[in-house]
Every structure is written in structure tokens, then in C-alpha cells.
Amino acid sequence: MANVYIKTKILSGDSAIKYLKEIRSKTIFIVCDKFISESGTIKYITNALDLTNSVEVFDQAIPDPTTEVVGKGLNMIYKVKPDIVIGFGGGSAIDTAKGIIYFANLKKGIKKPKFITVPTTSGTGSEVTSVAVITDLENKSKHLIASDEILADVALVDPQLTLSVPQSITANTGMDVFTHALEAYVSKDANVFSDALAEKSIELLLNSLLTCYKEGKNLVARTMMHEASTLAGIAFNTAGLGVNHSIAHQLGGTFHIPHGLSNAILLNEVIEYNCVNHDIMLKYASLAYKVQLVSIDETPEFAVKVLKEIINTLMRCMNMPLNIRGIGIDIEEYKHHIQRMSDTALLDNCLNTTPRKIGAAGIQKILCSIY
């Protein structure tokens, strides 16, 4: 049975902001980071809101949002009791908003607010997903919150907000999109709906990511990447992810490696692991055929080889480290954490839909291979 649930109303394009102009006489709680509030970017939201609204800003979102930050936001939302929460920023800011909403909903007497997401990067797809990743600093791990209660009611997908994103973030978030689409495509819960979304996402990405990296102000390319990110988000929210993300969460929680970079470094090793299963290998090949990386006349094995080369080429062209060594992490320090990271990865929710079963030994082998 194909199970698809799409709750979020998506407004895409540079006129998406007009949605906010219709809001009147509401208490609005904006979750963002310090950069957005102090750089003036927040005016994108506040200038669009009618003066009849009351606006409170929580600007303490950080990369890899922590349980501590979510707790601070929770205390504030209890006081504000907003009608609307707006998650404004990259995936971390939106995940922070989701974490706050999730735990606020557990408290009796708090009215559930309407949730609006406004992404400023093309990567996480968090604007349309029912998950949030929160870091526990005490045990250096990332935890997944999964609940339809944190799906946004409305997502405003405006590419204008991505025009000033730096090259390194464009690269990392872009490869996060690639990973979302690939993992959703081969997920054991994939269906025709998620496949179509993933295929279109990768088609758009292949036609736009390098242009976004080299020509950051190219609105056509930025629009394609922003839509690719949202499509991949819906795809993996429908089909799930896999071991790539399960391990990436541990790399991020332990060494603070950007999430998209962690995913990118892992991608080819995970493809290699999954392709031991012939049926999964054929699914990867099918994607390569669909997005016209290779002719249908080529063998599935060659199609997968080309797919892996495309991943390496994208990373090289965007000056991304190809392994953990390239990030500058000491090998002894890395080895010290492999056992714990593999054990924690086995508890990660993304592992539930990975297409080929894997145990601690398999995860450790992948972790060693990417150094």
C-alpha cells in the first residue's frame, strides 16, 4: 500500500511573501538565529506583517539545535502563547521551531499554533517534513523527533532568500538535497509518488547546483534548487531515509561536521554497501536512466558507476572534502568514537527504512572507509 500524506500548503516563488500580508490581529512567534535578526533579514517577515499583529522573536537558534536551546524557546512560547509560529531560516532554525512546537503541544492548556515555515537555504527540506533533528550535547548524539504534529501548515518557498547564501553552505545544503532524494528513492518504503518527487528533485539539482555555487545571484538556478529541496523533503517525508543519514547524524553530533557535508562524504560508500543487493542496485540504476545520466542501453552496473562519479565530480567542483581526513579530524580521535557512533546510529530512526539491513560491524566498516 502506498501511503502519502501531504498536509503543507506550499507557496513557491518571489510572491510567496504576499501570504503574510493577509494575517491580521494575531500573536506571532518568530524563530530564527542571531544572524537573521541582527542582519536585518528578519524584516522580510516583519515588514510584510500588518501592524495589527503582535510579534515576538526568539533568535537563539543555532546550527545543530540543542535540547538546551529548544528548552529556552519552550519557556518563551509558554509566556507568549502565540496564534502563529514562523520558523524562519535554514534547517536548524526550522527544526528549532519544530522542537519547540512539539514539546509545547505536550503541555495541557496550550493552544496549538498555526505553523508557517520560511526556508532561507536549499537543503534540509525541513519546511515540508514531519521530523526535526535535535542534538543532545551531553552524550554527543542527534535525536530525531518524528510527528505529523510538527508538519508546517504553510511553507513559503521564496528563492530570493537564497541569493546571498555563501558557496560552502550552497554546496553542503545542495548535497543534503541529493542525499534526501537518493535515500528516499531506494528506501524500503518508497512508492511511485515518492519516486516521482525524488526523480524530479535530482533532475532539477543536476541542472542547477553548480550554477548556484558559481553564480550565487542566478535567480533561475536558485529557484530550481529551492524547489528541488522541497521536492526531496516531501519525498523522504513519504518514503523515509536510510543508513546514510543515521551515520551522518552521529558525525555531526560528535565532530560538528555540517550535516550536508557528512551526508556527501558517506554517499558513495553507502551506495556501494546497498548495491550488494542486486535489486537495490537496479533501483539506483533506474534513477540514473530516468535523469538521463546514462543511456538506457548501458548496463545497470555502469549506470551506478556514473552516478557515483557524478557525486564525486560535484563535490570536487564545489571544493568539498571527500573524506573525514580532509576536514582535519585526527585519526586517533576519530577511531576513539567509532564504536559509540556505530552503536548510536543503530538507534537512529532513519535506519527503519534503509533498504539493506546493517549491523554495528557494517556501520563501523563504513565509518572506517570514509576516513
Instruction: Give the integer Cα–Cα distance in Å for 235 and 199.
Output: 9
The SS3 call for residue 238 is helix
Q: Is residue 179 part of a domain?
A: yes
Residues 213 and 325 in one domain: yes
CB atoms within 10 A of CB 6: 13
**pLDDT tops 90 at residue 64:** no
Write down the pLDDT at residue 140.
64
Q: What is the CATH number of the domain that holds 234?
A: 1.20.1090.10
Q: Which helix (H) or strand (E) holds 45?
A: helix 43-46
- Tell me the per-residue pLDDT of 311-352, one tens digit each, with 9 for 90 and over: 999 999 999 999 999 999 999 999 999 999 999 999 998 999
Q: Are residues 186 and 108 in the same domain?
A: no
- We report the CATH number of the domain holding residue 72 as 3.40.50.1970
Range with lowest mean pLDDT among 81-95, 128-142, 254-268:
128-142
Shared-domain flag, residues 330 and 233: yes
> Looking at the domain assignment, is residue 4 inside a domain?
no
Q: For the whole prediction, is pTM greater than 0.75?
A: yes
Residue 357 is classified by DSSP as -
| Confidence grade of residue 15 (pLDDT, cut at 50, 70, 90) | confident
Both 33 and 127 in one domain: the answer is yes
Sign of the dihedral through C-alpha 369, 358, 262, 181: positive
| Claim to verify: residue 119 and residue 203 sit in the same structural domain | no
pLDDT of residue 141: 65
Q: How far is CA 361 from CA 87, 102, 255, 367, in A?
A: 39, 34, 21, 10
Q: Please say if the pLDDT value at position 202 is more than 80.
A: yes
The domain of 340 spans 167-370
Is residue 303 assigned to a domain?
yes
* Residue 261 sits in the same domain as residue 190: yes
For the ranges 75-84, 136-145, 266-275, the lowest mean pLDDT is seen at 136-145
- Specify whether 271 is located in the same domain as 224: yes
Percent of the chain scoring above 90 in pLDDT = 89
- The domain tally of the chain equals 2
The rounded mean pLDDT for the chain is 95
What b/e readout covers 242-260, taking b as 16+ CB neighbours within 10 angstroms? bbbbbbbbbbbbbbebbbb
Whether residues 226 and 263 share a domain: the answer is yes
Contact 98, 71 (CB under 8 A): no
Per-residue pLDDT at 306: 98
For range 108-131, the mean pLDDT:
92
Q: Alpha-carbon distance 84 to 114, whole Å? A: 5
